[in-house]
Amino acid sequence: MKTEDEKLAARSRRAFLTMGVAGLAGFAGWSWLRSRPLDQGLPGPLRSVLGLNERLARGYFSDDHRMPEFALRAVNSDTRVNGDIGLGSDFDPATWKLEVQNGKTPQLQISLSEIQQLPRIEQITELNCIEGWTEVVHWTGVRFRDFTARYDPAFSATGAQYVRLDTPDEEYFVGLDAASALHPQTLLCFEMNGKPLTLAHGAPLRLVIPVKYGVKNLKRIGRITYTTDRPDDYWANQGYDWYAGL
């Protein structure tokens, strides 16, 4: 028996897949769809799928719904590397600092050891890539929620609105709704499967957000921006769903 949450998750996943570029190309009703009246530049029926996904994402992540967690023996030992946008070789992890833009000046510059003073969390969750593979990873880091309470308490208090993360070179960037960013399983991580992160996996610090597809799990965070405007997002700019929720 599927629970209501699982049904919602499945619907949300289907809605997301409908929107993938490949999904659109293969969509049987495509020619019918194209003949429908346009609504904000998209055929009406497609527009309503997008609307549904957005409504689901908003309601679905506003509570503490937890993604499954696993035992150590379930961890995949051969972790794959996927995606290297924004991971150019012109980078020195030893001099890295995290920039935080919370609307106040001056902008904060935070070291890894300061971040590591926040409560340490270990979590074994799935990383789900939109390409269709999943792996179980053992992550160590701090809660994004705790980080936010420490470095932008006003953001937490007002419950507002969006977060943007950029690689140091700004080549890769993701936008997150506040509910997903502040979800208890959303972490800033510095270890993967019991070892310090490698550069290819996002050292010195990466985002782990199990309620979202892999695309949102940004590696090598350079800057975190708390904002009231919905941020741009690398893959959403290419036509993928902005929420990219599971």
Ligand X SMILES: Nc1nc2c(c(=O)[nH]1)N[C@H]1C(S)=C(S)[C@@H](COP(=O)(O)O)O[C@H]1N2
Q: Which does 164 bind (CB under 5 to 8 A by kind): ligand X, Mo ion, none?
A: none
CB-facing half-sphere around the CA of 42: CA atoms within 13 A: 11
Q: Which of residues 127 and 182 has its CB atom nearest to ligand X in the complex?
A: 127
Radius of gyration of the chain (CA): 18
CB-facing half-sphere around the CA of 137: CA atoms within 13 A: 27
Query: Is 129 a residue that touches Mo ion (CB under 5 A)?
Result: yes
Q: How far is the CB of 20 from ligand X (least distance, A)?
A: 13
Classified as helix, coil or strand, 208 is: strand
Member of 7, 55, 80, 104 binding ligand X (CB under 6 A): 80
Q: Which does 143 bind (CB under 5 to 8 A by kind): Mo ion, ligand X, none?
A: none
State the Cα–Cα distance between residues 8 and 139, nearest whole angstrom: 27
Query: Is 63 a residue that touches ligand X (CB under 6 A)?
Result: no
> How many positions of this chain bind Mo ion (CB under 5 A)?
2
Task: With contacts defined by CB under 5 A, name the span among 127-135, 147-155, 189-197, 217-225 that binds Mo ion.
Answer: 127-135
CA distances from 31 to 24, 25, 26, 39, 51 (A): 11, 10, 11, 16, 21
Query: Is 149 a residue that touches ligand X (CB under 6 A)?
Result: no
Query: Is 172 a residue that touches ligand X (CB under 6 A)?
Result: yes
What tokens appear for 244 in the block? 């990219």
Query: Is 168 a residue that touches Mo ion (CB under 5 A)?
Result: no
What tokens appear for 124 in the block? 């074994």
Classified as helix, coil or strand, 191 is: strand
Query: Is 167 a residue that touches ligand X (CB under 6 A)?
Result: yes
Strand pairing class (223-227; 98-101): parallel
What is the footprint of ligand X within residues 203-222 (CB under 6 A)? 214-215, 217-220
CB atoms within 10 A of CB 77: 6
Query: Is 214 a residue that touches Mo ion (CB under 5 A)?
Result: yes
State the binding string over 7-46 for ligand X (x if CB under 6 A, else -). Answer: ----------------------------------------
Task: With contacts defined by CB under 6 A, name the span among 75-83, 88-96, 143-151, 152-160 that binds ligand X.
Answer: 75-83
Is the C-alpha dihedral spanning 163, 182, 98, 141 positive or negative?
negative
Cis peptide before 204 (omega within 30 of 0): yes
Member of 8, 33, 75, 129 binding ligand X (CB under 6 A): 129
Residues within the interface to Mo ion (CB under 5 A): 129, 214
Residues within the interface to ligand X (CB under 6 A): 80-87, 127, 129, 167, 172, 201, 214-215, 217-220
